[in-house]
Amino acid sequence: MAASALGFAATRPAMAAWLEATPRQPAGPFYHPMEPLSVDNDLLYHQDPESRADGEVIYIRGRLLDQTGKPIKDARIEIWQANAYGRYNQPRHANSNLPLDPNFFGFGHTLTGPEGHYRFRSIKPAPYPDSSEWLRPPHIHFAVIPEGGSPWSTQMYFAGEALNKRDFLLGNLPSDAARERVIVDFQTTENAPDARAKLGELDIVLGMPGVTRDKA
């Protein structure tokens, strides 16, 4: 009967949302070489609680999810980045003409909470030359280490930066939609812990290699 067919169609449960995975990006050469035992999720201050790092203060927060939207808790999230002058606190950074900031360690980590939340406070990094012809836009490296899982990495970019359009790594992502998933629009907001600082939100969706919607 047509009526029962319609009825079946009307009551069929909706297919669960399947989130697009955040694109992976290479960790690059400037991952911190030392065991970071003394750092946390606040990169604004390092050893001296009275001396903050140079640069524009930013807050980053978001959630770590799998592709079904389920939060991933107790995962370690690490970030590392250049300072306000474009210099990494890393011996391998060859641009020694760019100054180090003694109050900026450049590396932080945290654990995701029960609902997958994480947050950091830091400063906006400056661009830096990767070669004579390639100026990297401001970006922050992320590594995610799920409990019992394999390390995963990406890079987060800032919306509105002209250099984004010329970046080799960002341009290598397969689509504008993929690029949008790692470009964050930082804004001042009353919801920020500090109303003068900008807040950016990056939800990270971990894809599982070899798993598609059909097989899940």
Closest separation between CB of residue 183 and Fe ion, Å? 15
Look up residue 80 and give its two tokens: 């590392």
The set of catalytic residues is 88, 128, 136, 139, 141
For Fe ion, the closer CB: 28 or 113: 28
Q: Report the alpha-carbon distance of residue 123 to residue 120 in Å, rounded.
A: 10
Closest separation between CB of residue 128 and Fe ion, Å? 7
Q: Report the alpha-carbon distance of residue 131 to residue 105 in Å, rounded.
A: 24
Strand 204-206 and strand 57-66: the pairing is parallel
Look up residue 181 and give its two tokens: 């998933």
The residue number whose beta carbon is nearest to Fe ion equals 28
For Fe ion, the closer CB: 4 or 131: 131
Residues within the interface to Fe ion (CB under 5 A): 28
Residues forming a β-bridge with 127: none
Q: Report the alpha-carbon distance of residue 122 to residue 78 in Å, rounded.
A: 13
In the sheet that 139-145 helps form, which strands lie side by side, from edge to edge? 107-111, 76-80, 139-145, 152-158, 183-184
Closest separation between CB of residue 28 and Fe ion, Å? 5
Looking at residue 163, what DSSP letter applies?
Answer: G
Closest separation between CB of residue 36 and Fe ion, Å? 17
Coil, strand or helix at 81: coil
Q: Report the alpha-carbon distance of residue 112 to residue 62 in Å, rounded.
A: 10
For Fe ion, the closer CB: 28 or 71: 28
Looking at residue 164, what DSSP letter applies?
Answer: G
For Fe ion, the closer CB: 138 or 146: 138
For Fe ion, the closer CB: 66 or 101: 101
Closest separation between CB of residue 143 and Fe ion, Å? 12
Q: Report the alpha-carbon distance of residue 74 to residue 161 in Å, rounded.
A: 33
